[in-house]
Amino acid sequence: MSIVTVQLGQCGNQIGFEVFDALYSDSHCPQGLCSKRENEVYQASCKERFFSEEENGGMCGQSIHCPLLFSDITNLFKAKSSMCYSVHGPRHEESIMNLIQKEVEKCDCLSGFFIIMSMAGGTGSGLGAFVTQNLQDHYSNSLKMNQIIWPYGTGEVIVQNYNSILTLSHLYRSSDALLVHENDAVHKICAKLMNIKQISFTDINQVLAHQLGSVFQPTYSMEGSYHYRRNPLGELMENLVPHPEFKMLGIRNIPQMSENSLAYSTFTWAGLLKHLRQMLISNSKMEEGIDWQVRPPLSGLPTLGKVSLNRELHFNTSIANLVILRGKDVHSADLGGFKDPALYTSWLAPVNAFNVWKTQRAFSKYEKSAALVSNSQFLLKPLDTIVGKAWNMFASKAYIHQYTKFGIEEEDFLDSFTLLEQVVASYCNL
Amino acid sequence: MGRRRRRVDRGAAVGALPEAIAALSRTLPAGPSPEIFRRAKFDRPEAAPALWQLLFRVLSPLSANGASAPAAQEAQVRVVKSELHSQGYPRRALAQLPEDGSRGSRELLLALAWLLARGPLLERLLAQTRVRLGDEIPLCECEALARPGPPVPRVEADGPVDIRQLQWLMGKLRFQWRKLITSQQEQCALLGKMLRRLESENVRLEAALHWRRQELVFWRWMDTVLGTCPPEASQPTFVPRIPERGAGEWELVARELQALREELRGAAEPRRAAWEARVGGWGPEWSAVQRASREAVGLELAALQRAWERGGAAAQPHGPCRLVKSDAGASGGPGLRAAQVIEVLRSREACLEAVLCQLQRQCRQELARLAGALPGLIWILPPGR
């Protein structure tokens, strides 16, 4: 089953390019640590999902590009996002939907859409919200996952908080899952783990692409089977985001290092999984600087008591988790640590909340690698911060005219605040 | 009177020949136009490449995924020559044709006719490339038993039910519905594809029938083609059947085979000994593995033997079976009769129905318990039930 990718804005386009590059390189990597035949099946599965064949026999990523619509990036006061949503979106609606229709027709079977966009920038955020809504109208049965780039804490654009809350609230209504990548976190990974001195957007995008690839490349469909799963997007959504109030997902993966260090490192599954579990619990974004003091609370406490205690302990409660293991001896990996009920909320037992996907085929030259897609409280603080900042600006009516000019009224702002406050409260009360 | 009738006959024959050849062409893979055939009779060089390709497609075994990469001209020529030789093609002139595939269209035409006359070439080709409809049913239970079913989501036995859990389950159900709809859309698309392939297969089958009605015209024409060949020294007459050989020939062949076998054994034994010597040094765990695998194979063979003895001729075949229409009087070949298959399917249907009823009962009990646990909750059933 195929996935069509929609790349919006400068950010979306650059990331999209890196993602397809990473997927292609991995599937053609000769160091898969598996038989030739298995490698061919892996390649075919990846190709079926993300690529279509061109007339000349080459492969092309199944994607639509909507690049930056404006060249005027110097004017910081222009609320480009609102313009994209209200004006340019509708104006280009037909051509955008035609492009999407063409890609969809190439697929034998459409599993769903990836929409790659930034949340706070110009084109990506406004157009992203608009396109997602259109996809909801035209392809209501297809799954939609928005890959959102969460902006740097020290903002780039003065109205980025407004853009963020408007975009997020619209997406929450029309999308199925929001996979959030935090710029701050990825930047730290580049600096500390990859040892890159001058970090460019390409480096950041490559890390993001690596994370996405480690989740969506082929995995075995069930324990003991050697057939690759046909619909990872569908299964991921069914396992992690069936509840309409809890749609925010985050990715962690381990190990992450520069290619030079790779040759000198060996790993055990026990070590990798221990670190990954602690990264989840302590809400750490990478395998360095993990806070080992954070521990799961004792079970047996009443629900309300547990909630306030967790908040004190900075413990990251999960609703559901999906662990993906790739590489040598993957069947011997022990996942008991992730099945601990203390990690999860009281209303979902680990047998329903935790899932694991495996494949023996190594990913991107890492002999062993593990990824974690998590629906948990990890984004609670950043979300709360953004909502708070946006509310402060709104209370003093700062820059609102930039939005009302293009038809986004104060009621829309209030609706967005209400929805996001509800999301924050839901995640808080896990 | 007689002369006029002859002229009418010749007129009818002239129209029928291109038609027959065109029908033949449509049945064959990569079939060339009737014009190529006509030029081949006169050994025109421009007809040669098309005929080389045709023979290559007809003689080379079909690769696993259908279309193989187009081979180079020399490779095609070599394959055709070796295949014809191994099938006993008598004319030496073909083996002497140049490898660049530039000449020899008449010889190729004769070779094609020879292949057609020998055996059911067209039927074999059509069967090889038939559209697979997915209408095969596996009758043996091995695969189904080996695969465990999907895990059933468990709900806690006691305590109050959190509404968020219900919302979670509802969400999962909604995703399942969407998956189902997407699968049905995929099924429609694939059915459309299959219809198109069936249509093109029908065209080929109709062409094959047409050919069968008209082929006498073609054979009469082939006689004339043979007539235009220069006489070859010590060339046997063009007979479609392989002539009988004397008993002495067979003995010679048998002795040659025996000698070959001895040679092979002589070459294989030292190699096997060397390998075993090397393997023996791998330690006790290897011999344990050897023993284990020998035991496993022995067990499987014993099981097979038991199954065969028990079932006799009506043993259930492994793997999927296809439904094929045969004459009423035909004796049972490999496979089962329709009545037996219906029996098996009916019993399996009954089993699955029972399992379905049980699961539905469990779900109803679960729902009743959940509904009881949350007073004031209204259940609205989906429409159509």
Structure ipTM: 0.87
**List of residues 6+ apart from A294 with CB closer than 8 A:** A278, A281, A282, A313, A314, A315, A316
Half-sphere exposure of B247 (CA within 13 A, CB side): 0
The two tokens of residue B343 are 């029996």
Rounded to whole angstroms, what are the CA distances from A59 to A63, A99, B185, B361?
A: 12, 18, 25, 50
Q: Do A108 and B189 touch (CB under 8 A)?
A: yes
Q: Residue type at A71?
A: S
CA A267 → CA A324, A329, A339, A356, distances in Å? 16, 11, 22, 19
Q: Which of B153, B164, B186 is the closest to A243 by Cβ?
A: B164
Of A239, A211, A253, A381, give the one whose Cα is nearest residue A321.
Answer: A239
Q: What is residue B317's predicted lDDT score, i.e. its pLDDT?
A: 58
- Write the CB contacts of B136 (distance below 8 Å, at least 6 apart in sequence): B320, B321, B322
B209 touching A (Cβ < 8 Å):
no
Q: Which of A133, A162, A429 is nearest to A310 (CA)?
A: A429
Q: Is A52 helix (H, G, I), strand (E, B) or coil?
A: strand
Q: What is the mean pLDDT of residues B237-250?
A: 58
Tally A–B CB contacts below 8 A: 62
Least confident of A154-168, B15-29, B189-203, B316-330: B316-330
Give Rg (Cα) of chain A: 21
Q: CA nearest B208: which of B325, B140, B122?
A: B122
Gap between the Cα atoms of A416 and B6, Å rounded: 94
pLDDT one-digit tens code per residue, A187-204: 889 888 888 888 888 888
- Min mean pLDDT across A76-90, A204-218, A400-414 is at A76-90
Q: Is the Cβ pair A141, B162 closer than 8 Å?
A: no
State the alpha helices, DSSP H only, in chain B: 2-27, 34-41, 48-59, 73-86, 92-95, 105-118, 121-128, 142-146, 163-228, 247-280, 284-311, 338-373
Do A346 and A389 lie in a common domain?
A: no
Instruction: Check CB contact under 8 Å for B170 and A242.
Output: yes
Mutation for A interface: B143, B175, B184, B194, most A CBs within 10 A: B175
Within 145-164 of B, beta carbons closer than 8 Å to A belong to 147, 151, 153-154, 156, 162, 164
Lowest mean pLDDT among A361-370, B46-55, B324-333: B324-333
Mode of pairing for the β-strands spanning A110-118 and A2-8: parallel
pLDDT value for A71:
33
Q: The domain containing residue A412 runs over which residues?
A: 383-428
Q: Does residue A84 surpass a pLDDT of 60? A: yes
* Dihedral sign, Cα of residue A280, residue A282, residue A286, residue A292: negative
pLDDT of A301 reads 55
B 214-273 residues with CB < 8 A to A = none
Mean of pLDDT values over A73-92: 58
Contact: A244, B171; criterion CB under 8 Å: yes
Clarify whether residues A285 and A400 are in a common domain.
no
Same domain, yes or no: A246 and A343:
yes
Amino acid at A232: P
Count of positions (residues) in chain B:
385
Which of A71, A97, A141, A88 has its CA nearest to residue A6? A97
Sign of CA dihedral A264, A268, A271, A272: positive
How many other C-beta atoms can be found within 10 angstroms of the C-beta atom of residue B270?
A: 9
Please report how the helices B163-228 and B34-41 are oriented relative to each other, as an axis angle in degrees rounded to 10.
30
Rounded to a whole number of angstroms, the distance from the CA of A127 to the nearest CA of chain B is 26
What angle is formed at CA B95 by the lines to CA B91 and CA B97, rounded to 5 degrees? 115
B300, B302, B308, B311 alpha-carbon torsion, rounded to 10°? -100
Distance CA A305, CA B139 (A): 58
The verdict on B190 touching A (C-beta cutoff 8 Å) is yes
Distance CA B171, CA B155 (A): 16
Q: What is the DSSP string of A384-418?
A: HHHHHHHHHHHHTTTTTHHHHTTT--HHHHHHHHH
pLDDT band for position A74 (cuts 50, 70, 90) = very low
Question: Residue A192 corresponds to which tokens in the numbers above?
Answer: 């500390």
Within an 8 Å CB–CB cutoff, is residue B182 touching chain A? yes
Same domain, A142 and A14: yes
Residues of A in contact with B168 (CB under 8 A): 242-243, 347-348, 352
Tell me the three state secondary structure of residue A298. coil
CB atoms under 10 Å from CB of B84, counted, come to 20
Task: Write out chain A residues lying below 8 Å of B174, CB-based.
Answer: 242
How many structural domains is chain A composed of?
Answer: 2
CA distance B222 to chain A (A): 42
| Least confident piece of the model among A64-78, A407-421, B55-69 | A64-78
- Tell me how many degrees the CA angle A406-A409-A410 measures, rounded to the nearest 5: 140
Q: Which tokens belong to A66?
A: 């909507």
CATH code of residue A43: 3.40.50.1440
pLDDT value at position B174? 93
* Statement to judge: residues A80 and A101 lie in one domain: yes
A406/A333 same-domain check: no
Residue B326 has pLDDT above 80, yes or no: no
- Phi and psi at residue A366, in whole multiples of 5°? -85, 120
Measured in angstroms, the CA of B69 and the nearest CA of chain A are apart by 13
Rounded to whole angstroms, the Cα distance separating B368 from A406 reads: 52
Pairing of strands A248-254, A177-182: parallel
Residues from chain B contacting residue A57 (CB–CB below 8 Å): none
Cβ-defined contact of A234 to B179 (cutoff 8 Å): yes
Exposure of A207 in the CB half-sphere (CA atoms within 13 A): 32
Same domain, A345 and A421: no
Residues 6+ apart with CB under 8 A from A201: A14
Same domain flag for A311 and A402: no
- Residues A23 and A69 reside in one and the same domain: yes
Whether the Cβ atoms of residue A238 and residue A334 lie closer than 8 Å to each other:
no
- Please judge whether A243 and B190 are an interchain contact, meaning their C-beta atoms are less than 8 angstroms apart: no
Q: Cα distance from B189 to chain A (closest Cα, Å)?
A: 7
Alpha carbon of A322: minimum distance to chain B alpha carbons (Å): 15
Domain boundaries, chain B: 13-140+166-228
Decide if A142 and B153 are in contact by the 8 Å CB cutoff.
no
pLDDT tens, B260-295? 999 999 989 988 888 878 766 555 556 666 777 888
Residue from A213, A192, A187 nearest A25 by CA:
A213
pLDDT of residue A82 exceeding 50: yes
The answer on A323 and A421 residing in a single domain is no
- Looking at residues B181-205, what average pLDDT do you find? 89
For residue B172, list chain A residues with Cβ-Cβ distance below 8 A: 238, 242
* CB spacing of B179 vs A231 below 8 angstroms: yes
Residue ranges of chain A whose CB lies within 8 Å of a chain B CB: 1, 108-111, 141-143, 225, 231, 234, 237-238, 241-245, 345-349, 351-352
Q: Are A165 and A417 in contact (CB under 8 A)?
A: yes
User: Looking at the structure, do residues A339 and A422 belong to the same domain, yes or no?
Assistant: no
Q: What is the pLDDT of residues A243-292, one digit of tens each?
A: 999 999 999 999 988 877 877 778 899 999 999 999 999 988 888 888 88
Contacts of A136 in chain B (CB under 8 A): none
Q: Is the pLDDT of residue A365 over 80?
A: yes
User: Angle A160-174/A123-138 helices, nearest 10 degrees?
Assistant: 10
Does residue A33 sit in the same domain as residue A139? yes
Per-residue exposure over A89-102, b if at least 16 CB sit within 10 Å of its own CB, e if not: beebeeebbebbee
pLDDT at B283: 57
Instruction: Supply the pLDDT for residue A369.
Output: 92
DSSP lists the bridge partners of residue A220 as: A228
B181 touches chain A (CB under 8 A): yes
